[in-house]
Amino acid sequence: MEAGHIIQSSGKIYSNKVDELHTRVINCNAQLADHVQKV
């Protein structure tokens, strides 16, 4: 029971980190596109 709970919560932490990375990549791409359009 305890081990299953720990695995579940670390899975949540993992998916939060993935979402955070994904958001950063999107923001970075948006900034790059913005920069390319200005040049």
Can you spell out the DSSP letters for 11-39? HHHHHHHHHHHHHHHHHHHHHHHHHHHH-
Question: Which residues fall within 8 angstroms of residue 18, CB to CB, at 6 or more apart?
Answer: none
pTM: 0.56
Q: Is 2 helix (H, G, I), strand (E, B) or coil?
A: helix
Q: Compute the average pLDDT of residues 15-37.
A: 91
| Residue type for position 3 | A
Looking at the chain, the whole-number percentage of residues with pLDDT higher than 90 is 38
- pLDDT at residue 6, as a whole number: 65
- Residue predicted with more confidence, 35 or 3: 35
d(C-alpha 4, C-alpha 39), whole Å: 53
- Residue predicted with more confidence, 5 or 25: 25
